[in-house]
A and B are shown apart, each in its own frame.
Chain A
Amino acid sequence: MKSFKCHTGIGDTVTGEALVADDNFSARYDLDRINGVFSRPQHKLHGQSYRDKILVLNTAKGGVASAWMLHEMKSRGIAPLAILFNQANTILMQGAALADMAMCDQFEDGDVTTLFRTGQQLRVDPQAGLVTLLD
C-alpha cells in the first residue's frame, strides 16, 4: 500500500472509490445537486455520479455561497465522501468544516489528479494529512 502526504485537512478518515479528473470544482455551477451528478456540459466528469465518491480535482471555484452547499448536499445523503484538491480555496474548506466532510489539498508528490485514477480504492486521513492507495 502506497501513501501520499498532503496538508492537514478537514474531517474524519474515510475509505472509498476515487473519481478523478484534471478539472476544477464549483458546487454551484458544475453540479445537479438534486440528482448527484456533474451537470455542466463542459466539465470532464459531466454525467457522472459523485455520490459517496472520493473526488480528485484540481482546484475549487465559486463564490461565498458555496460554503453552505456541501452541508446541504450531505444532509440529503447525496454528497461526495471526500474531496482532494491540488489547491482548495478558503470557501470550500469552510464548507467542508460545516459539513464535516473530508477534504485535503497540497500533495507533496505533485499533481493529485495524476497520482490517482478513477476506480481506485483510497483511504483519506485528513488529520494525519495522508491518503493511502488500497489497491
Chain B
Amino acid sequence: MNLTDQETAMLAGEMGAAVQWAIDHQIKVGRAFDALDMVPTSQAHMMVDPESVGEAGVSFLEDLANKGAKVVIPMITDPRGVDLNYYRPLGQSEEMANLDRRTIAACEQMGILMTNTCINYQTVMPPVLGDHVAYGDTGVVIYSNSVCGARSNFEGGPSALAAGLTGRTPRYGLHLDKHRRATRRFVVQQQPGNLTDWGILGAVIGKMAGSYWQVPVIEGIEDAPTSDELKHMGAAMASFGSTPLFHIVGITPEAPSLDAVGGQHLPVEKINAEDLDKLRSSFGQQGDEIDVVVFAAPQLSLVEMSDLASLCVGQTFKVPVLVCTSPQVYADAVRMRLVHTIEQSGAKVLEGTCFYNQYAKEIGEANGWTKLLSNSAKIVNILGGYGYTPALASREQCIASAVAGKIV
C-alpha cells in the first residue's frame, strides 16, 4: 500500500502504541482487499456489544485506553448488550452488566461518544453524498451507502475503532466507484404498504442478491418512501443478503436514472406479490401461540414510538412486549409521555439496546421464550439461529396478537 508520511510515522510508533496498532491493522486488512492507499473518514461507528466482544475484547479495549488511545474523528457506538436500568428482570446476569460497564468506561476514556444506537442516520449526524465513513452495523452501513450516498464498508468493531484512532480507512470495496455500480436489476410489481412490507421486500432482494459484492438497483417504486420504510428495507436486505448498498431509481442519490448506475443492460428480475407472500409465510401463521413480542432491529425512531404509543392506548397485553430504542429517542419519548403510554399497556421500553445483540439466547432461556413475534424482517432472520421460532407480522397485528396471546 502507498502510505503518506503521516501514515508511515504512525506505523513507526511515533503517535503512540495505540495508533501503531490501528494503522498496522488497517494495512493488513487493506492488503487482503487490494487497497492501494487509505482514505480520510469523517466519522466512525463501532459495534461493541459485550456478547460479541467478550472478556478478551474488553481487555483489549482497556489496554488501548490505558495506552492513551484517543479517537481523532467523531466516533459513536452501536446498541449495548445491557440496559443498565433494566437487566435483572430480563434474566441478564451481573457478569453481563459488568462487562458492559467496563466496555463503556474504556470507550469513554478513548473519547468515544456512547450513542448506543443503530439509527444514528436518523438521530445523530447523517453522512452526506460522497462522505467516506467507517461504520459498523450492517443496517447503518446499507442505509448510509444507499439513502445518504455515503461510502462505507461493513467495518467490524476492531476496524471501526482503528479508523477512529487514525482518522482514515483502507480504500477498498464500497469506497471505490467500481463497486457501487448496479449488478442486479429488480422491478417491483407490488408496492409495499407498512414497515413490515418494506422489510419483506428488502429480505427478498437480499436473498436473491446474496453477496457483499452484489449491488441491486430497484425500479417500480411509485412514491418516495419514508426514512423508516427505507430503514426496514435496508436492514432486512443486509441481514438476508450481506448486501451493503442498493439503489432505487429516481429516489436514492446515486441513481437519478437507471443508466447512472449502469443498470440499463442488466436483465430484469421481477418481484411480485407471490415472492413477497412466500417469504412472509415462512415466519409464523395465524393462530400460533406466542411467548414474547419484540419491536427492535433497527431501534425505533421517534415517529415509530409515537405510532406505537397510539396503538397501545387502552390495551392490556397478555404476553411480554419489549420495545428497543436509542437513548436520544428515549429521552424525547419520556418527555412526550410516549414511554408512559406504551408501558401502561404492560410493555417495557429498553434504552440503548437492540434485542438481538443483548444476549437474546440467554434471555430466551431465562424466560422460557421461544415463540417470538416481531414486525422486523431482520430480527426474525437472525433469531432463528438463537433457538427461537420467530414469526413476522405488521405492527398493528403484533399489538393485537400481544392482547390475544396468539397471532391474530
**Chain A interface residues toward B at CB < 8 A:** 7-10, 26, 28-29, 40, 61, 63-69, 71-72, 74-76, 88-91, 93-95, 97-98, 103
**Given pairs A7-B32, A93-B29, 8 additional interface contacts (CB within 8 A):** A10-B29, A63-B138, A65-B52, A66-B156, A67-B156, A69-B54, A71-B54, A71-B56
16 A-B pairs with C-beta separation under 8 A: A10-B29, A28-B52, A28-B385, A65-B47, A65-B52, A68-B54, A68-B156, A71-B56, A89-B212, A90-B33, A90-B153, A93-B29, A94-B25, A94-B156, A94-B158, A98-B156
B155 cross-chain contacts in A, Cβ below 8 A? 64, 90, 94
Q: Is the interface of B mostly helix, strand, loop or mixed?
A: helix
| Residues of B with C-beta under 8 A to A103 | 32
B364 at the interface (CB under 8 A from A): no
- Interchain CB contact under 8 A, B157 and A68: yes
Q: Lowest 10 CB-CB distances: which A-B pairs, in order?
A: A67-B156, A75-B56, A65-B52, A72-B54, A29-B385, A98-B158, A97-B28, A94-B159, A94-B156, A72-B56
Band of interface residues on B: 35 or more
Query: C-beta contact mask, B135-168 vs A, less than 8 Å → 1, else 0?
Result: 0111000000000000001111111000000000
List of A residues within 8 angstroms of B56 by Cβ: 71-72, 74-76
Number of A-B contacts (CB under 8 A): 103
B21-50, CB under 8 A of A: which get 1 and which 0?
000010011011100000000000001010
Task: Give complex CA distance A61, B173 in Å.
Answer: 17
**What's the minimum C-beta distance from A8 to chain B, rounded to whole angstroms?**
6
Which residue from chain B places its CB closest to the CB of A61 in the assembled complex? B242
Nearest residue in A to B46 (C-beta to C-beta)? A64
CA distance A71 to B212 in the complex (A): 23
- Cβ contacts under 8 Å, A7 to chain B: 32
**Is A71 touching B60 in the complex (CB atoms < 8 A)?**
yes
Q: Is the CB of B108 closer than 8 A to any CB of chain A?
A: no
Is B55's CB within 8 Å of the partner chain A? yes
Contacts of A68 in B (CB 8 A): 52-54, 57, 156-158
Say if the beta carbon of B357 comes within 8 Å of chain A: yes
Cα–Cα, bound, A61→B33 (Å) = 17
For the complex formed, measure the closest distance between the CB of B208 and the CB atoms of chain A, giving whole angstroms: 17
| Docked-complex contact B239 and A90, CB < 8 angstroms | no
Chain A: which residue is nearest B212 at the CB level? A89
Interface residues of B (CB under 8 A from A): 25, 28-29, 31-33, 47, 49, 51-57, 59-60, 78, 136-138, 153-159, 173, 212, 239, 242, 357, 382, 385
Residues of B within 8 A of A9 (CB): 32
Contact B153 A64 (CB under 8 A): no
* Interchain CA distance A90-B156 in the complex, whole Å: 8
A90 to B138, Cβ gap below 8 A? Answer: no
Q: Are B49 and A65 in contact (CB under 8 A)?
A: yes
Name the residue among A40, A64, A94, A98 with the largest chain B CB count within 10 angstroms.
A64
Assembled-state Cα–Cα distance A66/B136 (Å): 11
Scoring A10, A61, A74 by chain B CB atoms within 10 A of each residue's CB, the highest score goes to A10
Contact A95 B156 (CB under 8 A): yes
Say whether, besides A64-B156, A76-B56, A97 and B25 are in contact (CB < 8 Å). yes
Shortest CB distance A7–B (Å): 7
Contacts of B54 in A (CB 8 A): 68-69, 71-72, 75
